[in-house]
Amino acid sequence: MRVLLTACATTVMLVAGPLTATAAAQGSRSPVGGVQLTAQSKVVAAGATPPAVQAGSYVVADLDTGTVLAAKAPHAKLRPASTLKTLTALVLLPRLDKGDVVVGSDRDAGIEGSKVGVYPGLRYSVDLLFQGMFLASGNDAVHALAEHDQGGTPATIDRMNKKATEIGALDTHVTDPTGLDADGQVSSAYDLALFAQAGLGRPDFAKYASTKYTNFPLAKAGTYQVANQNKLLFNYDGALGIKTGYTTLARNTFIGAARRDGHTLVVTLMNSPHGITEDATKLLDWSFSHYTALSSVGTLVKPATAAKTGPNVSKKSAAGTPLPKRTQAALIPALAVQSLALRIPSWAYAAPLFVLLALFLRRPRSLKIHNKRSRSRRH
């Protein structure tokens, strides 16, 4: 019995130990950007009270100074929807020649979600595909661009996770470069602000993000006009655009920026039921009008500082190279089991052993009667 009890205790320690240690390590790390930027569901601001908005999480920051002016659950890990395409662009823009020609494929055209209209067999410049990605949030354009790069989509995913780590976006994990609701795909309002800061530092990114209209080819002949989905561009003075997003699970997400009075401000919103443009407008108006009265509640970290915090390697390829398709398929059940295991309380792993112990100690009724009769005969 001692051996069995020892085995039970050892099992609990072996299973619960690593899980508890991991949780403690995550919980002990100070939030990137300052201790005030906690993941609690409350607004942190100084100097003035920000307007009420419907988004579950947001950040308002000065992109020039890196000062965070107000935030609500800035490090909450939420589904980013198509705002994740800003990180996709940060990876692909410096790698692809905008004059290259890409031939549309069946897989491009058959992708889920929003599309700009990439048809199999039609030829598109990389430049036009980036326009379709930014303006129409075309998942087909993203897929065509990712597949055009060396290593295809798996390598793009790996590079996106590494890029996120490089710029300090440690709340982000990428499993699909389009931003669709893929398992394990998360980001935060804080990280979206980092993507905006890094993106607007590139002239090509800034140009795509602020383009209002473009023309995209139809399947047989002619073109059609594509308008930027970011309505801030059309009705806000000084707007620089950037990116909108929506999926059923993520709900509305948003990255918008504007430049006024010598200040460039960004607002990021996640998990919003509706009214995303109105909320962004209210937060930007409030920030510009109260700018001199606001004191910092945090900072947008610089890439050089963020790089010291450690890697954020993609689960698609821990070695930094795309895995064979069969290997990737084999990983899916394992990741699902791992995810389930992390949701089970540590004490539950020892339950089967305690059940066996109880059965072992329980004496059958027939055995009890036999022993009683044997004692009676001896007496």
Q: Which structure tokens are listed for 335?
A: 């990741």
- pLDDT tens-digit series, residues 136-164: 999 999 999 999 999 999 999 999 999 99
Q: Which structure tokens are listed for 205?
A: 């990114």
Q: How many CB atoms lie within 10 A of CB 109?
A: 18
Going along the chain, which residue ranges are E strands? 43-45, 57-62, 67-72, 101-103, 123-125, 213-217, 223-227, 239-247, 251-260, 263-272, 298-299
Q: How confident is the model at residue 13 (pLDDT cuts 50, 70, 90)?
A: very low
Could you tell me which residue, 23 or 289, shows the higher pLDDT? Answer: 289
Q: For residue 167, give the CATH number of its domain.
A: 3.40.710.10
pLDDT at 42: 74
Alpha-carbon distance 47 to 291, whole Å?
A: 9
- pLDDT tens-digit series, residues 76-120: 999 999 999 999 999 999 999 999 999 999 999 999 999 999 999
270 part of a folded domain: yes
Cα radius of gyration (the chain): 27
130 part of a folded domain: yes
105 part of a folded domain: yes
345 part of a folded domain: no
Q: How many CB atoms lie within 10 A of CB 303?
A: 15
Whether the pLDDT of residue 255 is over 60: the answer is yes
Q: 242 forms bridges with which residues in the sheet?
A: 256
29 part of a folded domain: no
Segment 28-36 shows an average pLDDT of 64
23 part of a folded domain: no
Going along 276-370, which residue ranges are E strands? 298-299
Range of the domain at 206: 43-318
Q: Which residue has the tokens 């549309």?
A: 104
Q: How confident is the model at residue 30 (pLDDT cuts 50, 70, 90)?
A: low
Alpha-carbon distance 44 to 40, whole Å?
A: 10
Q: 187 forms bridges with which residues in the sheet?
A: 78
pLDDT at 44: 80
28 part of a folded domain: no
Whether the pLDDT of residue 174 is over 70: the answer is yes
Instruction: Please tell me whether 315 is known to bind a ligand.
Output: no
- pLDDT tens-digit series, residues 202-225: 999 999 999 999 999 999 899 999
1 part of a folded domain: no
Q: What does pTM read for this prediction?
A: 0.74
Closest CA to 8 of 354, 244, 369: 354
Whether the pLDDT of residue 22 is over 90: the answer is no
Domain tally, the chain: 1
Instruction: Report CA dihedral (267, 273, 276, 279) to the nearest 10 degrees.
Output: -70
With 0-12 CB in 10 A as exposed, 13-18 as middle and 19+ as buried, what is 200? buried
Q: What is the mean pLDDT of the chain?
A: 79
- pLDDT tens-digit series, residues 336-373: 333 333 334 434 444 444 445 454 445 444 444 444 44
With 0-12 CB in 10 A as exposed, 13-18 as middle and 19+ as buried, what is 239? buried
> Which residues are part of the catalytic machinery?
82, 85, 137
